[in-house]
Amino acid sequence: MPLKVKERFVLLDRDGVINQDSDAFIKSPDEWQPIPGSLEAIALLNNHGYKVAVITNQSGLARGLFDMETLAEIHDKMLIMTSAKGGDITDIYYCPHGPDDNCACRKPKPGLLQEFSQDHKIDLAGIFCVGDSFRDLQAAWSVGANPLLVKTGKGQRTLKENPNLDTPVFADLYAASQFIISQH
């Protein structure tokens, strides 16, 4: 019997990593705009044997800023635009809760990462997780993953507030993706 090849994944935060972030939240498909090079970065990862999943907090749902239908439309736009650049996002995991809901899935808690791990039967130790906020890094650390910080989105603020981070830092998702593919 042939051996099953272990799937390789890279986990990405959404807002500030793939698309432009907003302190007023991304509330509609029109507001969802990719960061230059981010969709090409996903295609680059795919072309080097990595599957890509998105792990994202979406507290705008709990805050009443948009509904599930609108979130689905935003994600459809992201998937269509990624596909048009030759990339593929296999899964999107999101936390719909607000910061005061005390759920297990809102980053920095590891719930979404653990759900991904269970669904794909993948050990998260060593898997690359790309984020722009400290809570993205904390979630990755909590499951033994390898966090990478990008300077897009909230990345510059994260660096300023945490100047002694022991985490690789990259200009954007494309630069982080080049690093990831250089590791294997």
Contacts of 155 (CB under 8 A, 6+ apart): 16, 132, 133, 149, 169
pLDDT digit string, tens, across residues 98-131: 999 999 999 999 999 999 999 999 999 999 999 9
Gap between the Cα atoms of 66 and 44, Å rounded: 32
Task: Say if residue 148 is exposed, middle or buried (CB neighbours under 10 Å; 0-12, 13-18, 19+).
Answer: buried
Residue among 15, 21, 132, 136 flagged as catalytic: 15
pLDDT attached to residue 4: 44
* β-pair type (169-170, 128-131): unpaired
CATH topology of domain 8-182: Rossmann fold (3.40.50)
Q: Rg (Cα) of the chain, in Å, rounded?
A: 16
Residue 7's pLDDT is what?
81
| Per-residue confidence (pLDDT) for residue 3, from 0 to 100 | 44
Entry pTM: 0.95
Q: Catalytic site residue 132?
A: no
Q: Which residues of the chain have pLDDT under 50?
A: 1-5
What sign does the CA torsion over 43, 174, 94, 78 have? negative
Q: Name 97's Cβ contacts closer than 8 Å, sequence gap at least 6.
A: 59, 61, 62, 103, 105, 106
Please pick, among 13, 21, 132, 172, the residue that the annotation labels catalytic: 13
Mark whether 15 is an active-site residue.
Answer: yes
SS3 state at 118: helix
Q: What gap in Å lies between CA 96 and CA 135, rounded to an integer? A: 16
Domain ranges of the chain: 8-182
Residues 6 or more apart whose Cβ sits within 8 Å of residue 60: 25, 26, 27, 66, 71
Provide the token pair at 83: 């596909």
Tell me the HSE value of 146 on the side-chain side, using a 13 A CA sphere.
Answer: 11
Question: If DSSP codes are grouped into helix, strand and coil, which group holds residue 92?
Answer: strand
- Give the tens place of pLDDT for each residue, 51-63: 999 999 999 999 9
